[in-house]
Structure 1
Amino acid sequence: MDLRHAGFLLLLLCSAYCYQFRGGAGYGLFVPDPEQEWERMEAVIGEEMAEALAPESKLFRSSSGSGQIPEAKKVPEYLAVSVAEDRKEAFKPEKGARALPDWLKERLRKTAPSTSAARDTARSKVVEVLCHVDRMYVRLKREVFKTSRAYKYLKLGKCAVNQGTKAHYYLLYLLTTDCGFIKESKTDYRTVKVPLHYNPTTEVLREMPFDLTVECKYPRLFHSYKVGFYPKVQGGTIPKKLQPKNGFTLTPQDASGNDITGSKTYTLGQPMYFEAKQPSSSAMSGDQQGYINKCFMTASADPNSSPKHALIDNYGCMVEGKMSAQSKFLPTSSKMAQKFRVTALIFKEKLSSASQQLYMHCDISMGKLAPTPTSKACNYDAATKKWKALFGPDSVCTCCDSTCSSAKAKSSRNMISSHSWKVDMSSRDGFEVQPRMKLSDSHTFRSDDLDMAEHEDFLQYWDHDY
């Protein structure tokens, strides 16, 4: 038999021997030699523990010195200690230097345990565990089991034995494997736990079942002691002016487009001009435009107060335009601004006063340049009784008489309010306006009292909704 045949038979034997341990909830890690992989991981963990220790100090003396430099002690990089309340002052940061108390020196000089000694102790155990940042290795001595098929009933959580040698059963798994690892974060440690079961299902028992909890601890403290430093925050309060969420402003204007900064009093029915815009310094992408979703008027600075009257609604429909032809969106050269005009109104329930102080509130959002049913500016044309888009196709306005629903909420929506203004009800164009409505006599007004020829147009459009 030549070397090729011998190698092929050896490969078959290895495959058959290793295959018997593969199965269950995930195969885990499969290596050609589990014993060698175990020793490799032991060496990796040992090197990492050595690197975590404090570096060895190197003291230099003059060449004439005859004494040998003693080897520096290796101490743990971190040390969790329990300190009495009256001794915590020793850890308090202070300016300058001071001598450490003797009890603290002894604590800090405690040397690190020998990794080789700990490893030798572990080798004498029936169950051994290796913990690394991304994996857990568990092995058990085969000699404790009375049957060669004990591996079938041995589980690490939900995961079966996946490697074996003449001396050990191996369970080599990454922590990402679905074995049932329980991960917990505590103040000083991060722990990973998993049960180790041995539960034979045979009719007779040759060894007792058992359940063990395998736990790995990963320390969280590396560069400081548990007793912390708690600074005291001192200082006063610094006021900061709040800015609108998207930088939008709503400003009253005159007919020429100039901002009205002071108080303004209108007469009933007088046109009022407003501009909602975003300053160019905070403007968004060049393919976006500002849209007014709705505007309403209140008698209070609180937009949630009552009463309120809607002027623009349904994602940019000038609903007030159906009542007054004066109310409409106006063209503007800036895509970051929208202008509109409405007539001065008052609330009926507040007729007792000679004037009313009112506020405008608008909901603004950013949208694409091309208008949509939920990003538009639509005016009502009384002549054709149809909705017309200020820009873009009129088809985006067809929903103004129903509901223009939005597929999803607009993330950039922002409610803004204007300065207040007053509507004077005492006079208009030299005529006195009485805040109370009275009939000249007790007779009831009837349409058949009108001269039919003189009021033919009035009667023809009596039922039309403007």
Structure 2
Amino acid sequence: MELVPAVCLLLLFCSACRSEDGLFLEDPELVWARMETMMSKEMTPAPAPETKLLRSASGSGSPEAKNVPQYLAVPASQTLKQVFKPEQGARSLPNLANEMLLVTAAPTPAIGATAGTKLVEILCHVDRMYVRIRREVFKTRDAYKYLKLGTCPVNKGTKEHYYLEYLLRTDCGFEKKSHPDYLSFSNVLHYRPTGPVLREMPFDIPLNCNYPRFFHSYKVGFYPDRMGAVFKRLQPKTSFTLTPQDASGNEITGTKTFTLGEPMYFEVTQPDRTAQLGGQRIYIDKCFVTASRDPNSNPQYTVIDNQGCMIDGKENEQSRFLAGASEMVQKFSLGALIFKNGVSASSSQQLYMHCEISVGTRTPTQGSKACNYDPATKTWKELYSDDSVCTCCDSTCSLAQPKASRGMISSHSWEVVASGKDDYAAVDPRMNSLDVAEHEDLKQWENDY
């Protein structure tokens, strides 16, 4: 007769094994042993792996690196943030960091490896809680009926233990709390027998799983023979803008159509740094026009060259640097042009402007300047300062030193048509003798250029 309750008990536990809440599907003793071993390894800081990265550039090994733990779990604090705060330059490693990073980690004892036998044990996995309690605690054969983890019943039993395993997301009454250094899930193991009499006392055992927030403050790498600092820009190298404008200084949006020879205006600025810089100036080192968005395409027509010489000013008086209210904004004008190849009287071309820009001191040099050509005196003149820096515009202007902040920028496209309607009046191309007599001074122009 005693076999019947035992069989019923086994059937009860086996039916629980089919639950969808992550319950035991195999021998719980084997599962517990496996999880205990795995979690013991997880809680022990692993030593740094011995790889080829643990050798210096000279090939000699670094024994110290092999004795340092691969990671350390440390509590977050304002002091630690200051210790590991990135900064420019070099400084000695603070004592707190020395003690934390260079100490050899002692192995953590295995979970549950104690001399005495534990009556209640808990294992905290990444997404669930394992609880087991020895059956010898109870004197009632059906004690499992009154034993619960929060509101959830026993999953399975063996000769020695009752087992409860539940996912943390299960509605068993888990309480989640977030702390600066860890995340905790807590519950209560209840034993509350019913009936008119008690043969053992009820109890409530609080259970808690803490999940540390690990900070991987460093990883062991190779030890270079020479130490130095490497600096990397946090901002994009090119933060300039090149904007087509109308004669009033308003930005031209969309595609603008110009007639051949019509004046065009451009503005170069660096809006994200204009308010921060003092005693500096934007320089346009080179500008050229292409028929493609690609600045490396051909053909190209150079407008500004030789570190800031408006060389197209010798061909067209409309091409010149323009003064403005701020030297951190540089404007220039240009007569609308098209490329000669494949052009007809009714054709048009889509064009793009590309410029190399740099920032330097307000005092210009031969390597950083804005020089316009003056056809009246046949000389070069600097836009704001001493004209002597422009004397090299007819030869080669040398750089005293490479420019640190330099970038290529491109404008959006514009269209130029060969001629517009009613732009030119009809003329008779023939000349009579009177025309020639009245224009004898044309011969003098040939000698001027």
- Return the TM-score normalized by structure 1: 0.47
